[in-house]
Amino acid sequence: MYDIIGDIHGYATPLRNLLTLMGYHEINGVWQHPQRKAVFLGDFVDRGPEQVETVLLVRAMVENGHAYTIMGNHEFNAVAWATPHPQQPNAYLRPHTPKNQRQHQSFLDQVVEGSELHDEIVKWFATLPLYLEFEGFRVIHACWHTPSLQTLSPYLNEQACIKSQAWEVLTHKDTPAYQAAETILKGLEIALPSGHEFFDKDGNVRKHIRTQWWKSEYLTYRDLAEVPPDILEKIPHDPIPADLMPGYNPDKLLFVGHYWRTGTPAPLSDHIACLDYSIAAKKTSGMQEKGKLCAYRWNGENVLTQDGFVWVS
């Protein structure tokens, strides 16, 4: 059986605590369980104080057969940041803008940018699959969106890993492949009705919203918008056309990360669970509790249960 673990973001100590809580032990430098395996949902780096330790712990488990993992958007970005652009001298697949550097600087500082270890970790990140399917469940970082997976198919190998020659295409903005990668790694976005827009926290005009795509009913733009509370009232209450939402075929359970949820961990629906409970969040006036590192212990069930969730702060 399997223990699916959400976004870690460089918090290796809570990860060790969570593994201990679930009955894993460190043997010869590798965390393992006598009957179970871990499945990680990506986002190992950026923000936390133990990013290198986190990557090395997870990698050792994977390479010794005690865990599986997929790629998160932060691993994707780390590869693109470190990969020179083949068509643009002195440029990289992820532009080294001040904004991108701020998002990634804590990892670069801890791993030492350009070091042998940095190169080694980036190369490992590039080998991680975008999704995995097991007998009773699937895992993907942000959104199981069949049209996007079909678009990405030519750029992936049989293990759902990005082909080496495909990175340039997947990081080239405004192409179908780029948009597809954005959807599965960051979530489904849809355009607002004509004439509607809002400013995000950085002052940029936004005419699209990221959706709570897991909701089964076709509701309004405001009902499905995954935006901060102060933005929500600016989103129209117009009904969303049914063809804009993908739905999900619940033939298997689905586990995702990415969404920085709070409160007591619980299923999003009978068949979908988010396991990102904001371990990297700092307690502020807007957040009344510290984040959690969360897992779901799957024992073969076809419907998610509240009892399946475990976590540490």
Pair (60, 196) in one structural domain: no
Within this chain, do residues 60 and 126 fall inside the same structural domain, yes or no? yes
276 and 302 belong to one structural domain: yes
The two three-digit tokens of residue 273, written as one number: 């669970």
- Long-range CB contacts (within 8 A, 24+) of 104-112: 104/46, 104/77, 104/78, 106/10, 106/46, 106/47, 106/48, 106/51, 107/10, 107/45, 107/46, 107/51, 107/78, 110/10, 110/51, 110/52, 111/51, 111/52
Full residue range of the structural domain in which residue 55 is found = 2-147+250-312
d(Cα 219, Cα 198) in Å, to the nearest integer?
Answer: 20
Per-residue tokens: 240: 């969303």
Coil vs helix vs strand at 285: coil
Question: Are 100 and 125 in a shared domain?
Answer: yes
Of 221, 245, 269, the one marking the end of a domain is 245
Spatial CB neighbours of 287, under 8 Å, sequence gap ≥ 6: 262, 278, 281
CA angle 151, 157, 161 (to 5 degrees): 85
Question: pLDDT value at position 283?
Answer: 56
Q: Count CB atoms within 10 A of the CB of residue 123.
A: 11
The torsion region of residue 206 among left (phi > 0), alpha (psi -120 to 50) and beta comes to beta
pTM listed for this prediction: 0.93
Q: Which of 310, 276, 277 is nearest to 291 (CA)?
A: 277
- Residue 255 belongs to some domain of the structure: yes
- What's the pLDDT at 202? 66
Report residues of the chain scoring pLDDT below 50: 284-285, 287
Q: Do 260 and 142 share a structural domain?
A: yes
The answer for residues whose C-beta is within 8 angstroms of residue 103's C-beta and 6 or more apart is: 46, 77
Q: Which among 225, 245, 265 is the end of a domain?
A: 245
The dihedral built from the CA positions of residue 220, 150, 272 and 75, taken in this order, carries a sign that is negative
Number of structural domains found in the chain: 2
Out of 245, 264, 282, pick the residue that ends a domain.
Answer: 245
Q: How far is it, in rounded angstroms, from Cα 310 to Cα 23?
A: 12
**Same domain assignment for residues 42 and 116:** yes
Pairing relation of β-strands 292-298 and 309-312?
Answer: antiparallel
User: pLDDT tens across 37-85, in order?
Assistant: 999 999 999 999 999 999 999 999 999 999 999 999 999 999 999 999 9
pLDDT recorded at residue 288: 54
The verdict on 110 and 202 lying in the same domain is: no
